[in-house]
Structure 1
Amino acid sequence: MSGLSELSRFNENVLSKYQIYNSIFMTLPFDTISNTGVLLPLFHKLCEKGFQEGKNPTEIVDTFFSKYQENPTEKEKTDLLFRFIQYIERQVVLFDAIEDAAFPVVNNMDGIGTLRNSKETAILGDKKEALKAHLEDFKVRVVLTAHPTQFYPGSVLGIITDLDKAIQNDDLLLIKKLLAQLGKTPFYKKAKPSPYDEAISLIWYLENVFYHSISKIYNYIQNNIYDGNPMDNEIIDLGFWPGGDRDGNPFVTTQITLDVAEKLRQSILRSYYRDVKKLKRRFTFDGVQEILARVEKRLYKHVVRSYSKVNFSQKILLEELLNARQIVADNHQSLFIEELDDFINKVRIFGFHFATLDIRQDSRVHHQAFTQIVKDLHTVGDTTFPKNYEHLSEEEQIEILAAVKGSIDPKILTDDTSVSTIESMYALKQIQKRNGERGANRYIISNNQTALNVMETFAMLNLCGFENGLPVDVIPLFETVEDLQNAEEVMRTLYSNRTYRYHLEKRKNKQTIMLGFSDGTKDGGYLMANWGIFKAKEALTKVSREFDIEVIFFDGRGGPPARGGGKTHQFYASLGPTIEDKEIQLTVQGQTISSNFGTQNSAQYNLEQLLSSGIKNDIFTKDQLNDDNRKLIEDMAETSYKTYVDFKNHPQFLPYLEKMSTLKYYAKTNIGSRPSKRSNSATLDFSALRAIPFVGSWSQLKQNVPGFFGVGTALKKYEDAGRFDEIVAFYNTSDFFKTLLENSMMSLTKSFFELTAYMADDPEFGEFWKLIFEEYKTTKRLLLKLTGHTVLMENFPIGKASIEIREQIVLPLLTIQQFALKQIQELQSSDENAAKIEVYEKMVMRSLFGNINASRNSA
């Protein structure tokens, strides 16, 4: 299908429908105060025209009030601006629902990158056996994280789902009612959610989307690639961070971890219970009916009550179902057997855990906890660690840590950090008992710098009384540019340790290593973070193969390209033979969950794209970087890194973020349960700043710095030297380099410097703004020159069109936000303006939500 026909389908099924339904929405009579629906389009036109004429947001707002309102009071002005915000938030929801409804029409569900396409390509190329062999141990693990980058409450998610169905059915009457419901439903949360609340909102996606789309994919593979024969591999695994990610959220307690695991167990059993009820209507035959009635009764019991004694498991349930299947096959001509097989497959995939709950904590917290544990054990006369332990060399300490075994009693520990760390490890044991080993079997160490960081965690886990070996994967997370460079040496030390190597043997000779993008981008800029991770993967693949260990890379890919996101499946398809790729594991969060996995159609399509990227890389193509290309990207990454680091060290960098962006307002919103920085200091400390508010603040300014800064300077170096043709040749032959730059182009497409052009005249920040704008212009010009395109994202017409409409919708919202920020700055010069400042701060926060929800196609 050509790009043009896809684009015309988009225009017909998304753009035209949005215009129709939006005009209905704008005339709904739920606004009793004044005709907001009539005034918003007028304000929108003024914003467009104003920015074209070089006006600033304050001038645009003032012009609007003088032109369309008769001497409004301050209160009337702010009331109307708040109502504009409400309307625009709901326009974003309407567009989301229309895009979701049109997904299978606009995207070719059997096209390139889908399983059907991969199967047909394999058969044509006589590679069906190779495809079968590849799928025997290839896996995709999608890990849902609770990082707050999307803010729809559950009630709004429900309306989006209903709107999606009503739009598919062209049910105008219901659409009208749902739009009215949307107008009356509050979007913002009055109180901060707890980590448990965040887990509940993500479990909605597990039950309503993944439960159906994953089993559909599994069934397709079984029936069409394995000719109906059973498979030993789940193929798609789900991971879950809310409630287990202690580094991501200091408010996570052991009790919350246990509660979330229990909720996951009950949710999957509830889904099974519903399916068994349906199966009973089909299998009314002797022998089968009795088994299903027995299973239904047991499932019901465990859904209604959480029993402390566990006498029901995935193994027991599968035995019952396989007995039923045998009877259907032997005695009842295999009638309806596909429906029973579908259910058996679900039980195989989701077990009694639904998604694996990962535990994550920072290495610095571990070190503090561990040091205290050693002291406390010495105090009670325990000889596990020698008295001089802390004075030993790192090598000697590692040898001691490898040999540690036991069952420590948390009651002997004297500080909260060590108690909560050990308790979270005991929680793993408890969850495995109830939900099966796959319920929680991974412990991630963020900010991992040394082999000692891993071994301290390994020793603490071994102090928790696990019998017959440790049924937990210890996963270091390398994030900063320096940590990525040291990763190979850290793993070599671990692999060389006999005890740790034996532990890996028990774990099927597999070692998972997590590599973080978002903090890497924040630390080293866009090109260096991505190239640093590519090189680290190569080095880690090499050292792991040397020790006969299969390394599995787990990518903290985030949402937008600035956090390592972007066109994920193309990124994976572009990795060459020097990087281990038996499994793809990645985190997804915020608006990436709702945009890529928000409906069954989009989830199926995007999961298939991920699966096929591994297939493409393994079976059909191998994209290997040659030495010349390596030198080019190494040099570009270095240039870009130096440019970005100089920029980050600019004396205006932090003051600009603090005074001119929405950074401090992230902490004031009730969007997520965690704080926006890791430390409690009053001053802004860059290293403690979390990646989400950092990237988000640039995004709200429509400057998207982390997605491009330094790329233009790196390209210009080659243009100035008359060597630009080398970069063009590299771009045209390397999928890896092409995907990297295409994701940067997406960041540029979402930038809009006209919004903040007024800052160029600011006495304090004018020069700094110009510095950012110059890099933006250079990057845009050279990326267009490199690709031969006239506009950004020319080769992705649908993505480009979707971004353009969304940017259009939120233009008035961005204008209001900038106007409010400017008002705050001016009012701060006097102490008497506290009440006014509070109103404008609320305006900034409310406009945060709509802006972020609108950029959900940042995946």
Structure 2
Amino acid sequence: MPKRAIPLSANNPDATPNKDLPLRDDIRLLGRILGDTIREQEGEAVFETVERIRQTSIRFHRDEDKAARNELEKTLNSLSRGRTNQIIRAYSYFSHLANLAEDQHHVRRSRAHQMAASAPREGTMARALKLAQEEGVAQAQLQQFFASALVSPVLTAHPTEVRRKSTIDREREVSQLLDLRDRQRLTPQEDAASEEALRRAILTLWQTSILRRTRLKVIDEVMNGLAYYDYTFFRELPRLYASLEDQLTAMDPVWTTLELPSFLRMGSWIGGDRDGNPFVTAETLRQALLLQSGRAIGFYLEEIHRLGSELSLDGRYVSISEQVQALDDASPDHSPHRQDEPYRRAISGIYARLAATAEALGHAEIARHAVGEAPAYTAVEELAEDLAVLHRSLTANGSAALARGRLCKLRRAVGVFGFHLASIDLRQNSDVHQRVVAELFEKANPGTNYAALPEAERVALLLRELRTPRLLASPYLDYSPETASELAIAREAAEAHRRYGKAAVSNYVISKASDPSDVLEVALLLKEVGLLRPHDGEMSVNIVPLFETIADLRACASVMESLFSLPDYMRLLRSRGKLQEVMLGYSDSNKDGGFLTSGWELYKAEIELVEVFEQYGVALRLFHGRGGSVGRGGGPSYQAILAQPGGAVQGTIRVTEQGEVIAGKYSNPDLGRRNLETLAAATFEASLLHSGKPAPREEYLTAVEELSERAYKAYRNLVYETEGFEQYFWESTVISEIANLNIGSRPASRTNSRRIEDLRAIPWVFGWAQCRLMLPGWYGFGSAVNAWLDAHPDNGLALLQEMYREWPFFQALLSNMDMVLAKSNIAIASRYAKLVEDEALRDAIFPRLRCEWKDSIRQLLAITKQEALLDGNQLLARSIRNRFPYLDPLNHLQIELLKRHRAGDADERVVEGIHLSINGIAAGLRNSG
């Protein structure tokens, strides 16, 4: 029988736009190699079954074809356990390989634009600077912006990244090989060698387990997060800065003598986020900080070593500055071979000092020993100054081109990463803080009964305590494990400041913040460890309230106003430059009130916060707790930032990067740099070009308010008021199995209950994504628009169309919903509904879901004037067409395995198959949690 690869598209290839032909070729190449690998490793029968299921799945995809459904179920029911898992792996790996091909195509198109000298594209700093120039933004304004700006992606370890690091590493090999094929003109022999290398990589990938056998520990998550510094951040962030400096200099030569501040810096929750995660302790934080520091210093040592190899300048041919001569004189390098090489001797001394620093910080293993002993650096600023000495000397003595090479990138890395690598946020729930503070008061003054006090009395008590330098905690008293743990973590944060600098732990986030006392309680805990000093009125950490539920979002402005009205708190804020950070929670607000209401309440909260902060003269920094999926605030970052209300982006922004989105954005260095640049460009534009944009028209605000009220009622009625809905959710989705998958250290629920209120937002969204209903990203919209149009029959639709055309917030809202609905599949969801054992419950709920799904699509198309979903986003539409013939079978296989598992089949291969299918579906959807 002749060889056949897995067919890659039912579309006519001649219809593919010319620019997308290389993508089609890459997908065909990877599919052919994967097909050959499956045939060689598993046999022709497995390959033929894979293809038969794919063809039947495509038929079922169209209008829930009943004959196809029966044929599909017959085929799937006949599969053995082992054969089922082989087929799941085949489709899962194709999804992963298709992702790599698409990522490479993005890189290819970006390079094509650069080579063609195209106009700067949206989301680039080149375009942002061009717009600023056209609008007459003065050079002084640019300097002021960069001097105070902060753009910080914050990596988190939420459990939706289902791949092992080993799998990601193997995929990166495939990606790098594709990139090499793209950048080089290959001879026939080179092409054959390249394809052979791809075959080896894909074979290794096929023979590597996707699944973890044990649950991740927090330190495993820290190590996984650190990998992205090697992949992307260490090298691409300095390159991004260098490019931006060149662009600024081209605009105005004055930038030649100016250095761009390091405004784009990394953050992390991994190792400091203990909200609901009992495995994050003081020891965990200590290890995370140590590992981060070791990775940063290890990178510097390697780069300094290479710099020494490069800067072989002979002192008889070049002049040097007095400062370089001083470094030369202080160097422990006395080798006669380098007696005329002042830069090398100076660099040997810098290396020796940094090696001593590494030893002092507890990093025992150093790849290369120093040539001699030297004193350790006491602060990263000392290292930065030594490198600056080299830079100034090279620049002043005819070697400016050398200063722009490795030294330039190393200096920038030191400025961005310091000795701490990334700032770790502490996060804890306000309920925990309340219990800890209550115990501290009770031990110090029995009968205080803090928890029973009204809010005003709590605030008064906390303020009195914050004014005195005495400590509440005593080393001679015993405290509960919870209180002891919280105090230990705070002490570890204080120690981090002493060891690595204040940037190591600079933010303390309070989940479930709803009252001023929630913030003051954290202030009191900081005082206990010296991070708040009452006598000086100084605070070394930002206290960041997180407003999550709909009720909290509606009250957040009044909470902040109450805080700002306290002179004691304002005194502390002045020590932070009168800047207050506020975090907004997209995930829980969505689970609480639905997609439309969540988005609207977040928008309104920002408007109210801007007004309150302006009233009190406090700078606002927003921290957006966005997830990967639209149901958790996901979607394109550029559009999301520009859709913020005027004044909400004041040159600073922090954004969480969660779950599988981290690998999707940052495992490929070219894409990683592009994503970092997009965040910077959007923040720049929103701050300098859109900050004074007029408020939306009043009728727009009124319309969305009415739509939100109706959507909220529809969503709450379904999720929280429909009897049996909780059971429907647990039985019609793979949530139970997700809870047992080894994809994160954090439990799926905050408690042991099955109540939706107690379920974390991540598995809530992830579960609906797996069954392809995507309910958190659209439910309530259709019925809300139906009712609103009934109430406004004359011009209702025209107004909504105008809002979509003119208002970035409404555009972003509907664009994200468009994406979610395009990735949903009601036919597949109907098969998951059959998993609900109670037929009456199933028949009561699924028709409601189907009706709302259809209404949401119908009204979305009417408002956007599209003929079909994603008419305005052909890039994503193409991606879905390429991918879903291989994604849909995974859903069908998952359903069959769930039936077997829930019927009592205890074979471990069934559980493994379910977990494999979860991995494959998540990969195919790309942003599922």
The reply to whether TM is greater than 0.5 is yes
Give the whole-Å Cα distance in 2 for the aligned partners of 1:25 and 1:768.
41
Instruction: Show the counterpart of 2:371.
Output: none
CA contact (8 A) 1:525 1:706 kept: yes
C-alpha distance 104-254 of structure 1, shift in aligned 2 (>3 A) = same
Give the whole-Å Cα distance in 1 for the aligned partners of 2:359 and 2:35.
45
Give the whole-Å Cα distance in 1 for the aligned partners of 2:293 and 2:645.
38
CA contact (8 A) 1:56 1:757 kept: no
Instruction: Show the counterpart of 2:785.
Output: 715
Map Cα deviations across residues 792-831 of structure 1 (whole Å, 9 max, x no partner).
1111111222233332221111110112223445x2xxxx
Give the whole-Å Cα distance in 2 for the aligned partners of 1:476 and 1:393.
20
C-alpha distance 578-89 of structure 1, shift in aligned 2 (>3 A) = same
Among 291, 304, 307, which residue is 2:346 paired with?
291
CA contact (8 A) 1:480 1:519 kept: yes
Instruction: Show the counterpart of 1:96.
Output: 99
SS at match of 2:820: helix
C-alpha displacement at 1:255, in angstroms?
Answer: 0.2
C-alpha distance 145-569 of structure 1, shift in aligned 2 (>3 A) = same
Instruction: Show the counterpart of 1:383.
Output: none
Instruction: Show the counterpart of 1:326.
Output: 392
C-alpha displacement at 1:495, in angstroms?
Answer: 0.9
CA contact (8 A) 2:353 2:377 kept: no
Instruction: Show the counterpart of 1:145.
Output: 156
C-alpha displacement at 1:610, in angstroms?
Answer: 1.8
C-alpha distance 232-470 of structure 1, shift in aligned 2 (>3 A) = farther
Q: After superposition, where does 1:10-159 map in structure 2 within 5 Å?
A: 11-28=20-37, 30-32=40-42, 35-52=45-62, 53-55=64-66, 59-64=70-75, 77-107=80-110, 108=113, 110-127=120-137, 129=139, 130-159=141-170
C-alpha displacement at 1:444, in angstroms?
Answer: 0.6
Matched pairs, number: 833
C-alpha displacement at 1:301, in angstroms?
Answer: 4.5
Q: After superposition, where does 1:605-624 map in structure 2 within 5 Å?
A: 605-621=674-690, 622=693, 624=695
Instruction: Show the counterpart of 1:280.
Output: 308
Instruction: Show the counterpart of 1:526.
Output: 595
Instruction: Show the counterpart of 2:813.
Output: 740
CA contact (8 A) 1:143 1:241 kept: yes
Map Cα deviations across residues 500-555 of structure 1 (whole Å, 9 max, x no partner).
11110000100000010011100010111111111111111111111110011101
Q: After superposition, where does 1:192-211 map in structure 2 within 5 Å?
A: 192-211=215-234
CA contact (8 A) 2:733 2:832 kept: no
Letter in structure 2 aligned against 1:724: L
* CA RMSD of superposed structures (Å): 2.5
Stretches of structure 1 that go unaligned for 5 or more consecutive residues are 67-71, 380-385, 828-832
Letter in structure 1 aligned against 2:29: I
Give the whole-Å Cα distance in 2 for the aligned partners of 1:659 and 1:245.
31
Give the whole-Å Cα distance in 2 for the aligned partners of 1:126 and 1:853.
45
What percentage of residue pairs aligned between the two structures are identical? 23
SS at match of 1:449: coil
Do structure 1's residue 636 and structure 2's residue 707 form an aligned pair?
yes
C-alpha displacement at 1:330, in angstroms?
Answer: 3.4
C-alpha displacement at 1:632, in angstroms?
Answer: 0.7
CA contact (8 A) 1:406 1:465 kept: no
Give the whole-Å Cα distance in 2 for the aligned partners of 1:334 and 1:444.
44
Map Cα deviations across residues 774-797 of structure 1 (whole Å, 9 max, x no partner).
111000011111111111111111
Among 587, 608, 620, which residue is 1:539 paired with?
608
CA contact (8 A) 2:710 2:783 kept: yes
Letter in structure 2 aligned against 1:287: P
Among 498, 506, 509, which residue is 1:441 paired with?
506
Do structure 1's residue 465 and structure 2's residue 525 form an aligned pair?
no
Instruction: Show the counterpart of 1:166.
Output: 177
Structure 1 window deviating more from structure 2 (405-414 vs 523-532): it is 405-414
Give the whole-Å Cα distance in 1 for the aligned partners of 2:209 and 2:47.
18
Among 419, 437, 446, which residue is 1:370 paired with?
437
Q: After superposition, where does 1:831-846 map in structure 2 within 5 Å?
A: 833-835=904-906, 839-846=909-916
Give the whole-Å Cα distance in 1 for the aligned partners of 2:76 and 2:524.
66
Give the whole-Å Cα distance in 1 for the aligned partners of 2:68 and 2:816.
29
TM-score normalised to structure 2 length: 0.86
C-alpha distance 839-56 of structure 1, shift in aligned 2 (>3 A) = farther
C-alpha distance 161-411 of structure 1, shift in aligned 2 (>3 A) = farther
Letter in structure 2 aligned against 1:735: P
Among 461, 471, 493, which residue is 1:400 paired with?
461
Instruction: Show the counterpart of 2:670.
Output: 601
C-alpha distance 78-738 of structure 1, shift in aligned 2 (>3 A) = same
Give the whole-Å Cα distance in 2 for the aligned partners of 1:211 and 1:274.
12
Map Cα deviations across residues 736-771 of structure 1 (whole Å, 9 max, x no partner).
111111101111011001113246774431220110
C-alpha distance 411-284 of structure 1, shift in aligned 2 (>3 A) = farther
SS at match of 2:400: coil
Instruction: Show the counterpart of 1:555.
Output: 624
Instruction: Show the counterpart of 1:778.
Output: 855
Instruction: Show the counterpart of 2:558.
Output: 489
Structure 1 window deviating more from structure 2 (419-428 vs 207-216): it is 207-216
Q: After superposition, where does 1:203-352 map in structure 2 within 5 Å?
A: 203-225=226-248, 227-231=255-259, 233-285=261-313, 286-303=341-358, 306-307=361-362, 311-339=377-405, 340-352=407-419
Do structure 1's residue 802 and structure 2's residue 879 form an aligned pair?
yes
Give the whole-Å Cα distance in 2 for the aligned partners of 1:315 and 1:19.
52
C-alpha displacement at 1:856, in angstroms?
Answer: 1.6
C-alpha distance 758-331 of structure 1, shift in aligned 2 (>3 A) = closer
Give the whole-Å Cα distance in 2 for the aligned partners of 1:419 and 1:63.
59
Do structure 1's residue 821 and structure 2's residue 891 form an aligned pair?
no
C-alpha displacement at 1:297, in angstroms?
Answer: 2.6
C-alpha displacement at 1:590, in angstroms?
Answer: 1.3
C-alpha distance 515-390 of structure 1, shift in aligned 2 (>3 A) = closer
Stretches of structure 2 that go unaligned for 5 or more consecutive residues are 1-12, 115-119, 182-193, 250-254, 314-340, 364-374
SS at match of 1:224: helix
Instruction: Show the counterpart of 1:502.
Output: 571
Letter in structure 1 aligned against 2:818: M
C-alpha displacement at 1:855, in angstroms?
Answer: 1.7
C-alpha distance 418-669 of structure 1, shift in aligned 2 (>3 A) = same
Instruction: Show the counterpart of 2:201.
Output: 178
Instruction: Show the counterpart of 2:643.
Output: 574
Map Cα deviations across residues 76-122 of structure 1 (whole Å, 9 max, x no partner).
62211110111122212212222222222234564222112222333
CA contact (8 A) 2:104 2:179 kept: yes
CA contact (8 A) 2:360 2:376 kept: no
Give the whole-Å Cα distance in 2 for the aligned partners of 1:800 and 1:132.
41
Letter in structure 1 aligned against 2:148: D
C-alpha distance 470-287 of structure 1, shift in aligned 2 (>3 A) = same
Instruction: Show the counterpart of 1:700.
Output: 770
Letter in structure 1 aligned against 2:880: I
Among 679, 685, 703, which residue is 2:755 paired with?
685
C-alpha distance 526-488 of structure 1, shift in aligned 2 (>3 A) = same
Instruction: Show the counterpart of 1:455.
Output: 520
Instruction: Show the counterpart of 1:430.
Output: 495
SS at match of 1:140: strand
Structure 1 window deviating more from structure 2 (756-765 vs 143-152): it is 756-765
Structure 1 window deviating more from structure 2 (483-492 vs 842-851): it is 842-851
C-alpha displacement at 1:270, in angstroms?
Answer: 1.1
Give the whole-Å Cα distance in 1 for the aligned partners of 2:75 and 2:820.
31
Letter in structure 1 aligned against 2:798: D
Instruction: Show the counterpart of 2:731.
Output: 659
SS at match of 2:88: helix
